[in-house]
Chains A and B, each alone.
Chain A
Amino acid sequence: MQHPAIKIENLWFAYGGARVLDQVNLTLPAGEFLAVLGPNGGGKSTLLRLLLGLVRPGGGLLKVLGQDPGQSGGRIGYLPQFTSVSASFPITVLGAVALGLVQPGFSGLTGWLNPAARRAEREAALLALSRVGLADQAGRRLSDLSGGQRQRVFIARAIVSGPELLLLDEPTASVDGKSRHELMALLAELNRDMTIVMVSHDMSTVDGCVTSIACVNKSLHHHAESRLTPAIFAQAAGVDLRATCPVELVAHGAVPHRVLLDHDHPDCCGGVHRHEKKDGGDAP
């Protein structure tokens, strides 16, 4: 039986005292493209760090690809936030992508001792680069590339190990509009082979290729049904958008923006403003 890509039950997490995430439930089938939205400080990035095993949950069940977080190694591809890499680091594009093949544990520290493995790494890195359309840039210095190109290099690094699940933290932040469009087209193509979870506070990135949306603001509401349908389009004109998820950019616009159906989950996004009291347990 195939595991869901992500299974979360009654998860909570706290930095010190206050809970950042509470009563989180999510079952994400393999093959989905999930956009995780929500206000800054709402717990989006914390959720990603939990999935990666970088922080441990306070309680609840969390399985990624059927395993405990942090156990899956190269089966999970990860794109950290844009700012985590120094712009002037002396490394070639190919070298940066090859680092995505590092082995976990102490065996990964001494990898250069095996020349045959290094050759195989270079070939895999070149393949990943051609997949993101940058094979011709392999020998250039990473710092000579544009922001959009660099982001695609980091996607190549994330997919070079052939992952089943791709976790992206704000992939379209700090790239221009055209690059953003190309990036989303690339992600849509990658989604044919792997499950994708993308954290974003930028609503304009959520376009047709996203198959479901999770709103995270302390709790999580999964809009699994929210495929873009004519019915939702039709609804968009008449609905008071601010009463649904607090998607400000969408709230200012009209069709063809995606509009999520209203729901009465109290902790989800805009709902939290209506009443503070939480009555968890109603899994979406």
Chain B
Amino acid sequence: MMDALGFEFFRNALLAGLLASVICGVIGSLVVVNRIVFLAGGVAHASYGGVGLAFFLGLPVLPVTTGFSTCAALCMAWVTLDSRERSDTVIGVLWAAGMALGIILLDLTPGYNSDLMSYLFGSILAVPQSDLALMAGLSAVVLVLAALFSRGLLVMSFDAEFARSRGVPVRFLHFLLMGLVAVCVVLVIRVVGLILVMALLTIPPFMAERRASSLAGMMLLSAGLSTLFCVVGLYLSYALDLTSGASIIAVACVGFVLSLLLPSGRGRGAA
């Protein structure tokens, strides 16, 4: 491990993993308790359209993808505003349309794009310093917004119907949450790729949910678990020469199975 830390690309990869873990711990917890995993998946895949758009226009990928997936997320938020049951078809359409758009735009872009796969499966070992700075900035924005509106997000997540009856602006919170999901997805795409983003958004929060006694505790615990998965996964990827994104997810999945086998740790101490 120590010799690996001597390489700048490995240090950058660890930092990117840490940032993604913190952000996934917070946003993934909200995604899981609000039962919008499918919506988050839609945003993650539609954001591929943003990647294609960035290549087509010759602009930096991260900012363009962030803007594109935020727009896609707000569209989905609007569709799901009042009836969450009827909207899953529309989410499916947006999901597929975003991916198709991305691929067509890449087809229309001259030259061979070897970087394409890195957005599908992640390229954490190739995160440049400039992307790292942008990731840190976006993470800070997401965390500040989530902290500022934490009370409202908690009230809505716990019981949206009750929140609505008390005059809490649930519609605003729904848009806010979907916007946060979009930014989070873009950040994590760099680390594990959009194919595998769902695992990092759902596995750690699922494991944490049964063991935490508050939403904040669930966020902290899942950020910690996520960090653990990233560090172990990265090291295995380095030591065994495996694809980094897949290694991280493989470690997370092992953790997931272990957590199912262990007692759920109610009343502390048992876990």
In the assembled complex, the CB of B85 is this many whole angstroms from the nearest CB of chain A, namely 13
Quick one: which of B137-166 are within 8 Å of A by CB?
A: 148-155, 157-166
B169 at the binding interface (Cβ < 8 Å):
yes
* Pairwise interchain contact B166-A112, C-beta atoms closer than 8 A: no
- B11 interface residue per 8 A CB criterion: no
- What is the bound-complex CA distance between A91 and B217, given in angstroms? 9
- Minimum distance in angstroms from B229 CB to a CB of chain A: 20
Contacting residues, chain B, for A76 (C-beta < 8 A)? 165
The number of residue pairs between A and B whose CB atoms lie closer than 8 Å in the complex comes to 97
Shortest Cβ gap from B161 to chain A (Å): 5
The prevalent SS among residues of B at the interface is helix
Interface residues in A155-175 by Cβ distance below 8 A to B read 157
Residues from chain A with a CB closer than 8 A to the CB of B161 are: 54, 80, 84
Residues of chain B within 8 A (CB-CB) of A74 are 166
Min Cβ gap A142→B in Å is 9
Q: How far is the CA of A84 from the CA of B35 in the complex (A)?
A: 12
Give, as a whole number of angstroms, the nearest-CB distance from A141 to chain B: 5
In the complex, the answer to whether B164 meets A108 with C-beta atoms within 8 Å is no
Residues of chain A contacted by B153 (CB below 8 angstroms): 109
Q: Would B167 and A105 count as touching, CB distance under 8 A?
A: yes
> Is A70 located at the chain interface by the 8 A CB criterion?
yes
User: How many chain A residues touch B (Cβ–Cβ < 8 Å)?
Assistant: 33
Q: Does A33 contact B (CB under 8 A)?
A: no
Which residue of chain A has the shortest Cβ distance to B266 in the bound complex?
A144
Partner of B151, one of A92, A104, A105, A109: A109
Of A95-103, A126-134, A268-276, the one touching chain B: A95-103
* B residues less than 8 Å from A91 (CB atoms): 158, 213-215
> Which chain B residues lie closer than 8 Å to A92 at the CB level?
213-214
Given A105-B169, A141-B266; 20 other pairs, CB 8 A cutoff: A54-B164, A74-B166, A80-B159, A80-B165, A84-B161, A86-B35, A88-B210, A89-B157, A90-B212, A91-B158, A91-B215, A92-B214, A100-B162, A102-B166, A108-B151, A109-B149, A110-B148, A141-B213, A144-B266, A144-B267
| 6 nearest CB pairs, A to B | A104-B167, A109-B152, A111-B151, A90-B212, A80-B161, A52-B165
Chain B positions near chain A (C-beta within 8 angstroms)? 33, 35, 148-155, 157-169, 172-173, 208-210, 212-215, 217-218, 266-267
